[in-house]
Chains A and B, each alone.
Chain A
Amino acid sequence: MAFTMLLITILFISVIQVAIPFLIKRTVVFGVTIPYEQASHPMLQSYKRKYAILTFLVGITVMISYILGNQSAMEETKLVLFGMISLFVVLLTSLSLYFYFHYKTMNLKKREEWFRGVKQVRVADLALRSKDEMLPSYVHLIPSLITVMLIILSAQLFDQLPNQIPTHWGPNGQPDAFTDKSWMSVISLPLILFIFQTMFFGINYYTKRSGIKLNAANVTSAKLRQLRLRKYTSWFLFITNILLTILFSFLQLNLLYENLFNDSVLMLVPFAFFAIILAGALGLAIKVGKVDSDLEGTLVMDHTKKQDSIDEDRYWKGGLIYYNPNDPSIFVEKRFGIGYTINLANPIGYLILFLPVALILLIQFTI
C-alpha cells in the first residue's frame, strides 16, 4: 500500500512538473515577466521544452528504480524511505532546472531589451468582483459543527476509553503508536481538525480580499483565468476541508469505539482521501492552466495601442517569493505552478500559515 501511494505521488509530481511551463501564464516564463508579444519567442519555447524533457527523464528514471527496488524484496520501512528520497530527487532536480532557466530567461530579456518602447500600465476592472464565484468563507465553518460534536462525544465516552490512545496511523490505516490516556490525547484529533478548518476559513477569507491582477495586453484571457483560479481553488479548498473532516471523524470514531470498522475500511479511507485530493489538484491545474497559457494557443492582442503590464520582477525573489509592501493583497497567483503564494510583506499571511502549524506541533508535543 505504501509503495503504491508513494509511486502514485512520484508519478503525479513528475507529471505536474513536466506540464507546469505550459500551464502557467504566458507572460511569466520561469518566474520572469516578459512582454505579451514575446510569449511565443522561439528561445523561450525551447527553454520550456528542454525543462519538460529533462524533468520527464528524471521522473521516469526515478520511477523505474523505485519499481525495481520494490521487486528486490526490500524491507517495508526501507522502501518507504527510498520512495521519499526518490520524491525529493524529482523535486530538487526540477527546482534546480527552474533556477537554471530562470537565469537564462532573465539574461535573454536583458539582452534583447524586450520592454523598450513598450508602454507599461496597470489595469483593473471595476465590475469584475461581481462576477467572482469564490465560495463564501463561512462555508468553512460548517464542518466545524462536526468537530464540536466529536469533542462532546469524546468527553462523554472518556471514562470508558482504554488507557492507551493511538497517536499515529500507518499507511494501512492501523494505529502504530500509542500514548497514555489524558484529556489532551483523547481530543487531540478533533482539536487539530479544528485548527485546519480555521486555517481554511482564513485562507478563503483573505484570498477573497486579495487583488485580481490582470494583464494589460490581454485583458479578456487574464480575466477568465483569474476568475477560474479563484473559483476552483476555493472549491478545492472546501473539498479538502470536507475530506479532512471525514478522515479525522473516522479516525476519532475508531478511537472511541474499538472494532467499529473492519480492516479493509481502515485501509480504504486514507487511500480514497489521497486519491480524491490528487484528482482534484489535477482537475484544478487543467481548468486554470488551459486559459492564458501556451495551451490556449494563439496570441490575441486586445488593443491596437501597444501596452503591457508593469514588470514586477523586483518584488519576486528568484521568481518564487513575493515581497511587496505596497500591495495589500495577502495571497497572489503563483508564478511557477498553479495556485497561490503569500505576500511576505504582509504579517497576516505568516499568521494564517505558520500559526496553525505551530499550534499543531504544540499539541503533538504535549500529548
Chain B
Amino acid sequence: MLTIDPESTVPIYLQLRNEIMEAIARGDLSTGDTLPSVRALAGDLGVNMHTVNKSYHELVSKEIIEIVPKKGAVIIVDEGVSNQRLALMSAEFRPLLAEALVRGMKEEELQRLITTIMNNIKED
C-alpha cells in the first residue's frame, strides 16, 4: 500500500517517491515489475499527473526505474551498490548523521534507530 499525507510538510512527489521505494524494499514489487502508468496512479490517488510524473523522474535519476517505451516504468534496481551511488547516498546521510552527533547520540543508539526503521519498512 502507498500512503500519502497531504497535510505533511514533505511534498507529495517526494512522499510518493519514498513510498514506492519502501514498497520495493518490502518486496511488494521486484526487479522487472512495471509501475502503474502515470495516469492510472494519479487517478488512484486523485492527485495531479505532474506530481506522479515528477516522482517517477526522481526514481529514474536514482536508477531505480527506467521508462521503457510502450511498457512504462520498469523497476531495474538490482543488488549491489556502485561506488558512485554510494557517494551520493553518503552525501545525503551526512547532514542527518551530523544532527544525530550534535544531539549526542552514540553509535549503538544510531544502530538501534536504523534497525527500528528497517523493521518498520518491512512490516508496513
Check B92 for interface membership: any CB of A closer than 8 A.
no
B49 contact set on A, CB distance < 8 A: 328
Shortest CB distance A209–B (Å): 6
| Known A-B contacts A126-B35, A328-B39; A219 and B46 likewise in contact (beta carbons under 8 Å) | no
Check B101 for interface membership: any CB of A closer than 8 A.
no
Partner of B7, one of A120, A125, A128, A324: A120
| Known A-B contacts A126-B35, A127-B28, A324-B46; A216 and B40 likewise in contact (beta carbons under 8 Å) | no
Shortest CB distance B44–A (Å): 4
Shortest CB distance B19–A (Å): 9
A129 contact set on B, CB distance < 8 A: 36, 40
A121 to B49 CA separation, bound complex (whole angstroms): 18
Contact A326 B3 (CB under 8 A): no
Check B4 for interface membership: any CB of A closer than 8 A.
yes
B73-101 interface with A by 8 A CB criterion: none
Contact A121 B46 (CB under 8 A): no
A121 contact set on B, CB distance < 8 A: 3-6
Contact B2 A327 (CB under 8 A): no
Check B67 for interface membership: any CB of A closer than 8 A.
no
Number of interface residues of B (CB under 8 A): 25
| Known A-B contacts A129-B36, A326-B48, A328-B49; A123 and B43 likewise in contact (beta carbons under 8 Å) | no
A214 to B40 CA separation, bound complex (whole angstroms): 13
Shortest CB distance A129–B (Å): 6
Shortest CB distance B49–A (Å): 5
| Known A-B contacts A126-B23, A209-B39, A211-B40; A216 and B46 likewise in contact (beta carbons under 8 Å) | no
Contact A212 B44 (CB under 8 A): yes
Chain A: which residue is nearest B4 at the CB level?
A122
B47 contact set on A, CB distance < 8 A: 122, 326
A238 to B55 CA separation, bound complex (whole angstroms): 37
A60 to B3 CA separation, bound complex (whole angstroms): 47
B45 contact set on A, CB distance < 8 A: 122-124, 211
Contact with A along B1-35 (1 / 0, CB 8 A): 11111110000000000001001000011000001
Check A50 for interface membership: any CB of B closer than 8 A.
no
| Known A-B contacts A122-B4, A123-B4; A211 and B29 likewise in contact (beta carbons under 8 Å) | no
8 closest Cβ contacts across the A-B interface? A211-B43, A124-B44, A329-B43, A122-B4, A211-B44, A124-B2, A122-B45, A124-B45
Instruction: Name B residues whose Cβ lies closer than 8 Å to a Cβ of A.
Output: 1-7, 20, 23, 28-29, 35-37, 39-49
- Known contacts A125-B2, A129-B36; 18 additional CB pairs below 8 A are A120-B7, A122-B6, A124-B1, A124-B4, A124-B44, A126-B23, A126-B35, A126-B36, A127-B28, A127-B29, A209-B40, A211-B40, A211-B42, A216-B3, A326-B48, A328-B39, A328-B49, A329-B43
